[in-house]
Structure 1
Amino acid sequence: MIINLSDTNSLVSEWMSEIRDEVIQKDRMRFRRNLERLGEVAAYEISKTLMYVDKEVETPLGSAHVQVFKYQPVIGTILRAGLAMHQGLVNYFDKADHAYVSAYRKHNRDGSFDISLEYVSCPPLDGKVLILSDPMLATGASLVKTIEHIAEFGKPAHIHIVTAIACTIGIEYVQRHSDANISIWAGDIDDELTAKGYIVPGLGDAGDLAFGEKVQQ
């Protein structure tokens, strides 16, 4: 299931306009906050798909039957770029366990790159719902490699990918190379990648815009 949150005009459209704007995105705190907001909206939408059970609670005036999560999801992120969206998800799924993955592009002299994955911290995943944030789904290679590695911690019942911008090429790559039960929630979807694997028109490097430039490895 692929969900483009910009298909219907909403606050997401407003935030996406700021996230993409090369002038506004120079305000690093505002950029991070807009990514966090997208995470919050995605959390609310994903919450509609989860399993619930009836619970009776006592109020000061009597008892009420309410619906609560049957199971808490696991909230994961790809470091470092996914941290702002991760915070938005955690703001809403505040009782969830957390997972962290350090997947990044290791650039070669010829301009190509490999996906380096050096650190994974994850709770047991068997039968759980995993919500994984990464603001840019470009080629899909890092996401597929992440899904392969977290399989060591169990098989999730469902994986929700939360991203600011996804590329159709990356979406198709994930669908071809992963047999996991996956839904992708995107702030918007673009159709083009550059030769170096950057989304066009995209927004630039989300990690650098959120946290500052890094030395390329």
Structure 2
Amino acid sequence: MHIHNLSLQNSLLNTFISEIRDKNIQKDSMRFRRNIERIGEVLGYEMSKTLNYISSSVETPLGKCNVDLPENEIVLCSILRAGVPLHNGLLNYFDKAENAFISAYRHHKHNPESFEIIVEYLACPNLENKTLILADPMLATGQSMLATFEALKPFGTPKETHLISVIGAKDGVEFVEQNFNKDTHLWIATIDDTLNNKGYIVPGLGDAGDLAFGEKLQQ
């Protein structure tokens, strides 16, 4: 797997990461969503450098200009609900992309420290020979990312796959590295060291879905 950790080089991205972590700034849900969206834009821009490009001609009011434009057929898939702001950021840059959505959540049976990933809803176009972008803001254990990818297999085999996350844990990064094809790309804003006993990233930022959209009732 090709791992692109953007935190290895200082950039304006540091500001957005700092704000989504800050427990005081987190109280502003709109700002939290916008920062996730902006991080998605940065990650999407960096990812775009690896796409295939073809020369095209554009006619201006004063003449013609040749420019290289991406030719990839992109399908952008996000995991509901936390993935929505990240999806919006990526869609701001890949505005011609087809879109897929999937619900995947942790189901705790009897032990709150163990869980399985449940996939309940999936809407997806044909993936055959296309560029799949699979986006989930928090790469904790990596199990949600893998479960989502497995659920997408009946829709075709992508030509290439890119995983996009905001914050990951080392365990989650290692998990996807071991379970995805070696040609898969992971684009991630920053990587934290550990997970707690409930599978949350530490120091992380908390529950991205709750911070973006409000706390949910537990069932």
Task: Sort the TM-score into its range (normalised by shorter chain).
Answer: over 0.9
Q: Does structure 1 residue 203 correspond to structure 2 residue 172?
A: no
In structure 1, which of residues 113, 131, 152 is the aligned counterpart of residue 133 of structure 2? 131
User: 1:181 Cα shift?
Assistant: 3.3
Task: Give the alignment partner of residue 153 of structure 1, picking from 152, 155, 163.
Answer: 155
The answer for the alignment partner of 1:30 in structure 2 is: 31
In structure 2, give the amino acid aligned to 1:81. A
Q: For 1:146-202, what per-residue CA distance to the aligned partner results, in whole angstroms no more than 9, with x for missing partners?
A: 111111111112211111101110111112223373211111101101111011111
State the alpha-carbon separation in 1 of the partners of residues 198 and 130 from structure 2.
Answer: 35
Separation (CA, whole Å) in 1 of partners of 2:136 and 2:91: 14
TM-score (norm 2): 0.95
Measure how far apart 1:71 and its partner are: 2.3
Q: How far, CA to CA, are the matches of 1:4 and 1:175 in structure 2?
A: 13
Instruction: Give the whole-Å Cα distance in 2 for the aligned partners of 1:216 and 1:153.
Output: 32
CA deviation digits over 1:53-109, x for unaligned, max 9?
111122111211111121231111000000001000001111110010101111223
Moved more, 46-55 or 155-164: 155-164
How is 1:107-122 mapped onto 2 (pairs within 5 angstroms)?
Answer: 107-111=108-112, 112-122=114-124
Q: Confirm or deny that 1:49 pairs with 2:50.
A: yes
Structure 1 length-normalised TM:
0.96
Change over 3 Å in CA distance of 1:164–1:43 after alignment to 2? same
Q: How much does 1:31 deviate?
A: 0.4
Aligned CA-pair RMSD: 1.2
Q: May I ask how many residue pairs the two structures share in their alignment?
A: 217
AA matched with 2:135: S
1:87 aligns with 2:76: no
Other-structure match for 2:216:
214
Between the aligned partners of 1:95 and 1:142, the Cα distance in structure 2 is 26
2:171 counterpart of 1:169: yes
List gaps (5 residues or longer) in structure 2: none
**Aligned AA for 1:66?**
V
1:19 counterpart residue number: 20
* Alpha-carbon distance in 2 for matches of 1:92, 1:71: 13
Confirm or deny: 8 A CA contact 1:159 1:180 kept in the other structure.
no
| % identity of equivalent residues | 54
Q: Which runs of 4+ in 1 moved over 6 A?
A: none
Alpha-carbon distance in structure 2 between the residues aligned to 1:118 and 1:100 = 11
| 18-27 vs 53-62, greater mean Cα deviation | 53-62
